[in-house]
Each structure stands twice: as C-alpha cells, then as structure tokens.
Amino acid sequence: MNYFENFKIIIFSISVIIINIIAILLNIDSNTLDDSQAYLTIGETNDSIGGIGMSIDESEDLFTFDKKFKVDAVLKRYSSSDYNTYGLLNDNMTSKVIDVPYIYQTIKYPTECESVSATSVLQYYGIDVSVDTFIDNYLPQAELKVIGYKGNNERILSSMHPNEYFIGNPKSYSGLGCYQDTIANAVNSLLKDYQLEEYFTVTAYDNLSIEDIQEYLENDVPVIVWATQNLVPSEKGLKWYLGDTNEVFQYMKNEHCMVAIGYDDDYIYFNDTLIGRVAYPKWLLEKRYLQMGSRSVIIEYVT
C-alpha cells in the first residue's frame, strides 16, 4: 500500500513539473529563441480591396482592370536566434506592398508551393483559375521511379528534370517540387487556353538580383521566387537518373517557392504559402535565393 501511495506521489510530481515547463515555454520571449523560428505579428495589412480583376472589351479588344480581391492576411516578421526583429516592430517599416491574393498550400497541396504561388499571381491579374485547375490541367508531372537497388539496398531512382516537370505528386506529402521553367511553361499554356497570351509576358529567370526584384515590386509586379522553407539552409537530397540517360540529377532539399509582394529597407515581403504574409530579412533571403539557383518567374501584363 505504501509503495502504491509513493508511486502516485511520484506521478503527480512529474505531472506538475511537466505542466510548469509547458507554461514557461509558452511565455518565452522571442529574444530567447534558440534553434526555432517564430513569426511575430505586427498588425493587419491594408484592409482595402486589393488585386486586379480583368475584363476584355471585345468591341475594341481592350483590357480593363477592376478591383476584385480582398487581402486580409496578417503581416508577420521573421525572427530567429540569428536575426531577431523583436523590439523593432512599428507601423512605419512598410515601404511597398502589393495586394496579391493569399492561398495556403497546407493540407490540400502539401508539396505544391510552386503552383499555389503561380495561381495567386494569376488571380492578382484577375484570371479566374483555381489551384486544382492549374495542377490538374497545366502542370506537367513526372513519377520518381525505383529502377534498381545498390548492394546496401539503397534505391536507384529515375525521373525527369524539375525544370521540365513537377517531380512526384504535388497533392501528396511525398512530392518534391519543380523549377522556374516548368511553372513558366504551365502559365503560358493556361494563358493560351484562356486566350490571354497576347496580354501577358511570362519569363523564367535564373539571374535576377534582389534589386531587380524590388524594381518589379515598385511597379506593382509580384515576383515568384525560389528559396528554402523558413529560410533554413538547403541540403543535398535525392539523386536520380534523368530519363533514360546516364546523367544524374542532384535534388536539393528544403526547396520552397513564394510570391514576393513588397519590400522596405531591410526586408522583402512574401506571400509564403506555408505560413502567411512574412517579411524576410534581405541578407538571409539572398543567401537562400542564391543557394537555390536565383530562380524566379515574372508574369507581367503587357501595357
């Protein structure tokens, strides 16, 4: 009986300790963050109607814009142990922000940040398209196949290049990703089907600077940018043979695609499809952007 009572006391004590630890963690100031990232709310974004609705006057073949989309996502600022913005938050840091519709990718499109980003930019221009339509009808997809095994049971894989196809299933957690040419080609195919190709230029880049991106933003042109999830370092991931060739492709892990929507002196603002509206520090963003090949796509209305 005494042993049982002592056991209950021990369990109760451990429970109290655990509860206290959780309470402490929930109240940690962001200045004490170590290895995790936090996103600090600094208030609502512009609550006005944003985005551009489009219509075509067939009699004169003219393109006209109508305000259409409302953006009510919360703007957050990136914070980590390496770069903490706590205490710098104020209402005067925003220099330029475009009201690009925000779409979360989680749950339904767990690995398709690229198509979600492209769809939100198309919606910004007033094009009535859903993420499902973009993926199902325009995104080329290639299976990652197991074609053999090495002596240590390591898989030998084969697939296509991410600049030609999305690798894997974009609606599955096992999907990998794609690069700028794949998205640009998909957007061009959609614009052709919608009979809108003459109204837009779609360009895939691998050499835009951060200053170039800011110049597009200054002219109300959002930029689809490749970086990494939460701006963590990229690492070598899977390797596979390209098609039936002997060429081996090295995929880099943590690849992520976002829409640049604004900037100020220290930050580039993004619609991050995993998190929300986030302001990432330029110096860290540039490192990850360069690490992922300086990849971007510009969809621009032809004036």
- The model's pLDDT over 40-58, given as tens digits with 9 standing for 90+, comes to 333 333 322 333 334 444 4
What percentage of the chain carries pLDDT values higher than 70? 69
Give the pLDDT of residue 6. 53
Q: What is the structure's pLDDT at 31? A: 28
Query: Alpha-carbon distance 264 to 250, whole Å?
Result: 35
Task: Please list, in sequence order, all residues whose beta carbon lies within 8 angstroms of the beta carbon of residue 181, skipping any fewer than 6 positions away.
Answer: 163, 164, 204
CA gap 73, 103 in Å, rounded? 10
Give pLDDT, residue 108: 82
How far is Cα 92 from Cα 221, in angstroms, rounded to an integer? 22
Contacts of 231 (CB under 8 A, 6+ apart): 37, 78, 280, 284, 285, 287, 288
Task: Kindly state the average pLDDT of the residues 270-292.
Answer: 91
Non-local CB neighbours of 213 within 8 Å, separated by 6+ positions:
223, 225, 260, 263, 268, 296
Q: What pLDDT is recorded for position 202?
A: 98
Residue 257's pLDDT is what?
96
Chain centroid to CA 143:
22
Confidence of residue 10 (pLDDT cuts 50, 70, 90): low
Report pLDDT for 244.
77
CA–CA separation, 297 vs 1, rounded Å?
Answer: 72
Cα separation, 10 vs 213, whole angstroms:
59
- Spatial separation of the C-alpha atoms in residues 99 and 281, rounded to whole Å: 20
pTM of the model: 0.74
Q: Does the structure show a pLDDT above 70 at 80?
A: no
Would you say residue 77 has pLDDT above 80?
A: no
Provide the edge-to-edge strand list for the sheet that holds 235-242: 145-149, 155-159, 235-242, 248-253
Q: What is the average pLDDT score of the chain?
A: 76
Per-residue confidence (pLDDT) for residue 74, from 0 to 100: 58
The pLDDT of residue 194 is above 80: yes
Mean pLDDT (whole number) for 128-139:
93
Percent of the chain with pLDDT over 90: 45
268, two tokens: 């580039």
**Residue owning tokens 């700028």:** 180
